[in-house]
Amino acid sequence: PRLNDDDGRVVLRRNDVRARASAASSATPSSFPSSPWPRSASHDDDDDDAAASRRRNNVVRKKVAARDFRHPLDQQNTSLLEAIPGLSNITKSIVTPVAEQMLIMEQISTSVLVGPNQLPSVHQLVIDAAEVLDVKPPALYIRQSSQPNAYTLAISGREPVVVVHTALVELMSPAELRAVIAHELGHLKCDHGVWLTVANLLTLGAEITPLVPSFVAANFNDELMRWVRAAELSCDRAALLVAGDPSVVVSVLMKLSGGCPKLSGQLNVDAFLDQARGYDEATASPLGWYLRNAQNKQLTHPLPVARAREIDKWA
């Protein structure tokens, strides 16, 4: 990696990643390069994940700090969110003790808790990602759902919870699923916890108390969604640090855009990146810029093509 002297950010170049992945694939455990990333897992050798994990345990890595990968828009929108008057009261009105208990009971009663004796291969993916990002492995639940999704719930004083839907597990390869889990752990590494939980509660139907003035609540909703979209960009970078290969992260985004198990073998990452560049060109005009902002304002996540371009540039 190259250290940017201006902001202390570790910049991961694509050639560096590919060279490191190539060297690691033929190296013995003792000769692995010292790096914060595990070797890149091929989509074709996912059955070797257990052996690769044991080799990665012998690698001495540089500890990763949130500032190494936090996106500038994340930092900027965090400052804007913190400046909202009455923020503390709004947060308390949403993340109530009842809401906290409801979230915990919901996961325990309707999902499967992953562990050493329950879906151990998925559990190992959590351990691998947590090790690279230097965070405590959270509880991870697999939930039955036809909607490919994953989200993080971080409640003050409680162990964080990551939830992954079964449709997402079916859609992703093991390397891609590890990148998805790393993305969620990126929220924990960047301390997105409380506000991310607030956003998830609002998405699930929670309401801001009527005691909060309506104009304050509306402003909070807009700023929170803008912050969530920026936070996602940081966590895509966390996924890249764990995956060690930008094509894995872009493949995740591509599959979330229009993938299904039947077509996954025909999807092309480079073609999707070309599509993303085409979107950049289409939105370069003043009208395109306006329409792009209007389109984004309705979303909880940045557009997949925009995320693919961002991760490709950072790589």
- Over residues 116-153, the pLDDT tens digits come to 999 999 999 999 999 999 999 999 999 999 999 999 88
Instruction: Please tell me the predicted confidence (pLDDT) of residue 240.
Output: 97
Dihedral sign for Cα atoms in the order 268, 263, 311, 139: negative
Distances (CA, A) of 171 to 42, 52, 89, 262: 16, 22, 40, 9
Instruction: Please tell me the predicted confidence (pLDDT) of residue 21.
Output: 42
- Active site positions, annotated: 184
Contact partners, residue 208, CB within 8 Å, separation at least 6: 90, 93, 94, 202, 217, 220, 221
DSSP state of 118: B
- For 153, counting Cβ atoms within 10 Å of its Cβ (0-12 exposed, 13-18 middle, 19+ buried), the class is buried
- Over residues 83-118, the pLDDT tens digits come to 777 666 677 666 667 777 777 788 889 999 999 999
pTM: 0.75
Q: Identify whether the C-beta of residue 185 lies closer than 8 Å to the C-beta of residue 238.
A: yes
- Over residues 32-83, the pLDDT tens digits come to 333 344 333 445 455 455 555 545 545 556 789 999 999 999 999 888 877 7
